[in-house]
Structure 1
Amino acid sequence: MAERVVPEPHRRRRRPTKQGVVLSEQLIVDTTLRLVGSHGAEALTVRRLGAALGADPSAIYRYFHSTDDLLLALADEFVGRAQKGWRPTGDWRADLREIGLRLHAAYQTHPQAAILAAHRTTGREHEMRAVERILGVLRGAGFPDVEAVRIYHAFVDQGLAFAALDAAALALPPAAQAADLEVWQARYGRLDASTHPNIAATAGLLAQDMRRSGYPFALELLLEAAAARLAATDGNAATGGKTGGGTERGR
């Protein structure tokens, strides 16, 4: 798709499509989610979208510069859905836990699209609101700005990584999903304790635990670590000490 998007005031299509609907950015996003969910990444074309909407494919240019621009809109849609109805409680750990679980759940509703979009940075409205809210929770809890940014980075990357991983598993055909889970029982569960003592001792637990996402527990570990760092920061502040700096890591 070429970059020839129509300015915002002139985007609205005045005549209904062949299916009797008036095009909008939201309608295109919703239709794209449905198509990608049914047909995977190959559905992300203006030809397919135009056919599904009953409109000339060129009409998509009125709303999006390119298919990549549309993909960014999908990513921002997930972030927006995750925030819908969220309200801060004043308990920073509870607030971050709720945001993380909401974000993870939002991506799982459309696993095929999540695989394509979870790693993208959109710079759009919903994403900017989420960044502001998460940093607000951290700074409001008393984290110094350097710590707030580092924890924000770890928190978001962890959540999106699990969202993409779990979405990829959900996107597998049911038979493949079942086969992957069966491996823990059929293969690992039968290993001899003489050669694999640790697996043999925990095989039943592994088979049970691997049936659910590891994200909720990983999120708790991150929040506990953040709480420990905050306590250390508070303790150093009370004694006039300084917290360690660590090394910076670029994305």
Structure 2
Amino acid sequence: MAGRRRWATEEILDAAAELLRTSDADTFSVRKLAAVLGTDSSSLYRHFRSKTELLRAVADRVLLAAVDGYRAEGDWKLRITALALRMRDAFGGQPQLAEVWGRYASSGTGSRLVMEEVLRALRDSGLPDEEIPLRYHRLAILIAALIASEAGAATVTPEEREQGMELFRVAVLGADPERFPSLAHFARDVRPLGVDRAAAFEEILAAQLTRIEAEAHAARPPA
């Protein structure tokens, strides 16, 4: 009798990414993945020691795709912005994986390439070395949160989106002006969270980079 097929690591990751397109990190399991591949869980644990390690590897491939073809061009702010937008687009094509990345992060080559470029750009900003790890950490949290939020919105069905918009209109436009005076005042101009997210992403990121630029300027010794 022929033995079970031996799956290569990349084939396992391909199957895991496809399974995550129709599920999420909570319902995903190594057992389900093994069933898709027609094998047993123990054969997959030869490649990955745990579910978390497998999920991190899947997310890391998205980061690798984001940095593929990236060129460090322009000043440090343009470089970080370009890289963040490439990451947003990469996870936008696989929105379920954005949740995985936001929760489990990554420690693979893709992650290290992103970290290297962001840290290098922050050094070019003029920040003192002792300030860079903290600024990097805050920037990483911001970018991960923005990407996960935007990707999460992309998984909403048209029916769910329309239902949410209707509930928003009822809640906001119908707000009691005595109990919610500010909300009633701005009701016609307040936008739902699902609207104009791309522009909001860039604006929020730009504000953070401007803050870092101001800190770098303040840290420079007087001429």
Specify the TM-score bucket, using the shorter chain as the normaliser. Answer: 0.7 to 0.9
Question: What are the residue-to-residue correspondences of 1:1-251 with 2, within 5 Å?
Answer: 17=5, 23-41=7-25, 44-207=28-191, 210-213=194-197, 214-234=200-220, 237-238=221-222
For 2:194 and 2:173, locate their aligned partners in 1 and report how far apart those are by CA, in whole Å: 13
Q: CA deviation at 1:97?
A: 0.9
Taking structure 1 as reference, are residues 230 and 111 closer, same or farther at Cα in structure 2, changes over 3 Å only? same
Match of 1:242 in 2: none
For 1:122 and 1:46, locate their aligned partners in 2 and report how far apart those are by CA, in whole Å: 18
Deviation string for 1:197-247 (max 9, x for gaps)?
43233323323674132322211111121122222223xx125xxxxxxxx
Taking structure 1 as reference, are residues 203 and 133 closer, same or farther at Cα in structure 2, changes over 3 Å only? same
Contact 1:192 1:200 in 2 (8 A): yes
Unaligned runs of 5+ in 1: 1-14, 240-251
For 2:193 and 2:53, locate their aligned partners in 1 and report how far apart those are by CA, in whole Å: 38
Contact 1:184 1:203 in 2 (8 A): no
Indicate the larger mover: 62-71 or 175-184. 175-184
Deviation string for 1:74-112 (max 9, x for gaps)?
221222222121111131111111112222332232233
Residue aligned with 2:103, SS = coil
Residue aligned with 1:207, SS = coil
Q: CA deviation at 1:153?
A: 1.1
Taking structure 1 as reference, are residues 178 and 70 closer, same or farther at Cα in structure 2, changes over 3 Å only? same
Residue aligned with 1:119, SS = helix
Taking structure 1 as the reference length, what is the TM-score of the superposition? Answer: 0.76
Contact 2:52 2:104 in 1 (8 A): no
Taking structure 1 as reference, are residues 60 and 232 closer, same or farther at Cα in structure 2, changes over 3 Å only? same
- Identity level (%): 26
- Corresponding letter in the other structure for 1:136: R
Q: CA deviation at 1:137?
A: 0.8
Structure with higher Rg: it is 1
- Corresponding letter in the other structure for 2:37: L
Unaligned runs of 5+ in 2: none
Deviation string for 1:111-153 (max 9, x for gaps)?
3332233132432211112111110011022221122222211
Taking structure 1 as reference, are residues 27 and 43 closer, same or farther at Cα in structure 2, changes over 3 Å only? farther
